[in-house]
Chain A
């Protein structure tokens, strides 16, 4: 089953008079349960593609489909609703809300989804346990290590049970051990729950986890290989 698809998308950034073509007509279909890495050098367009899949940005031309729905013409609120219900994000910088504890950060998307308190508590604890942070639940981000923060971000991304998780350079700011821990957790969740992952990365440590590696260069897909994963 197709979870996400981009069809002939382009994305042009205009700064003053200068136009930069980040994507030049990309077609990519992501099936349910995939563990896909978007790889390529800086400026190849992988983050832009990830942002289009995440409905954080809109293509200059072409279409973006999420769960079979064409989201290209969605307004801001419709895109926010779709993100809330179907998409989780993990960013390069451990994007937690600094005033909230790990528990409250994981709880935030559930609050936005209007989940009842009892179910919410159960789900937050379940997710914190899944990423090994049950003992750090009441710590704020500045009291957590980088690896712990990124694991909390993974727990938050998965809290609403989304069909698609988008991770932008999730290991870029982590040391080898923490990077491995985060990737192991995401792989485990992918295998156990079937949730679809798309990574944008140029970290060779991550390539080995991917089942599919999509290579971008200068805004175009140059390779699309099935891999075996770890």
Chain B
């Protein structure tokens, strides 16, 4: 029997019990839709976290002094980059570089009335395009200017926590490069949001020159923040920038935690896939086993007229393939709709933070062609594997047993 005939017979058999076939297709479809949603939420979460962390914190590349050590905020001149504006200008001349700007990081305590909170001062060049995410996120007031000697910007969550608004005055107490403490009254010029709770609650901006003066770091900066035309060029540009007294860190090196977390999450999701697909497979197996029992006599007839076990097996596998095709299509439609909804609206997670990773307060689903194809193929294969047992059961029926009841 040729493929077309096998297909025709399988198609008609599928429609013999419409309700059962639809339920099987739906089971496969719902299983696949849930997995599509899960995988796209994870992809969206990781992509969002990486994108945020690159945009707000790590850049594609960072130039650090040779003495730089992770998790250490030092203002000693040896631990800082000397003459950072000149270094940044040189880096900007490299064609692959879109933005290069110096930044100074310092720890401080912000006090207002009887409340205080530990914050991180980020000294920035207000004119740099690197600040675009912050400019776009301005909720109130104006962005700081390079010559502002008293102005700062604060995140909206910090503003809410300390009940601050534009024009309010705050006291900042910070350690200086020589180990002394310095304090000054600053005015809140504006409130920004990055929609990243970890960032908006802990970061304040002030112009680089003022930050240098406040922390007595003079013409020094903690890092040069670099954005490239294309993230994939990071390794090549890092190689070109290598020097003895400076360290070049790529976004991959800085955000290894995110990629490792993604690997870990993927491993965990494999277990979830197995559970969901296992349930789906059970439904398909059950449907086909019932079909085998209902059609035992027909199997006997086909066997009697000369159809071999392999032909009978092919018949049931084709039926499973049709169910799988329907299930995958249903899964794509249902899953597509779910993913589309959460791609647009996101899932609110609130202040969910991991040190060093900047999660937004919403996760937006992100479905890739690769993930869709992978899931479609896996769902299809799992459905086919689930049909092996009933197909084999049918193929191994002895003709005389299958025909039982036809004779005396």
Contacts and interface: CB of A to CB of B under 8 A. Distances in A.
A47 interface: yes
Interface in B300-316: 301-309, 311
A43 B301 CA distance: 22
Interface SS, A side = mixed
A123 interface: no
B1 interface: yes
Contacts, number: 87
B94 interface: no
A76 B12 contact: no
A175 B144 CA distance: 102
B315 to A, nearest CB: 11
Given A47-B407, A92-B406, A168-B406, A112 B307 contact: yes
A104 B263 CA distance: 54
A97 B400 contact: no
A95 B399 CA distance: 13
A56 B304 contact: yes
Contact of B306 (A57, A92, A113, A168): A113
B403 interface: yes
A112 B1 contact: yes
A84 B406 contact: no
Interface residues of A, number: 36
Contacts of B308: 76-77, 80-81
A47 B403 CA distance: 12
Nearest to A117: B2
B16 A91 contact: no
B134 to A, nearest CB: 68
B407 A89 contact: no
B1 A51 contact: no
A89 B298 contact: no
Tell me which of B308, B309, B398 has the highest count of chain A C-beta atoms within 10 A of its own C-beta.
Answer: B308
B305 A98 contact: no
Interface string B286-300: 000000000001100
B9 interface: yes
A76 B408 contact: no
Contact of A54 (B1, B304, B398): B304
B305 A51 contact: no
A76 B406 CA distance: 21
Contacts of A12: none
B306 A109 contact: yes
A95 B301 CA distance: 7
Tell me which of A43, A111, A168 has the highest count of chain B C-beta atoms within 10 A of its own C-beta.
Answer: A111
Nearest to B305: A109
Interface string A84-107: 110011011101111110000000
Interface SS, B side = helix
A54 B402 CA distance: 14
A89 B304 contact: yes
Nearest to A76: B309
B254 interface: no
A80 B298 contact: no
Given A91-B406, A93-B406, A97-B301, A112 B306 contact: yes
A42 interface: yes
A77 B310 CA distance: 9
A169 interface: yes
Contacts of A84: 305-307
Nearest to B10: A99
Nearest to B406: A91
A46 interface: yes
B5 interface: yes
B81 to A, nearest CB: 79
B305 A156 contact: yes
Contacts of A71: none
A56 B306 contact: no
14 contacts: A54-B304, A56-B304, A80-B303, A81-B308, A84-B307, A89-B305, A91-B301, A95-B297, A95-B403, A96-B301, A97-B301, A99-B13, A100-B9, A168-B407
Interface of A: 42-43, 46-47, 50-51, 54, 56-57, 76-77, 80-81, 83-85, 88-89, 91-93, 95-100, 108-109, 111-113, 156, 168-169, 200
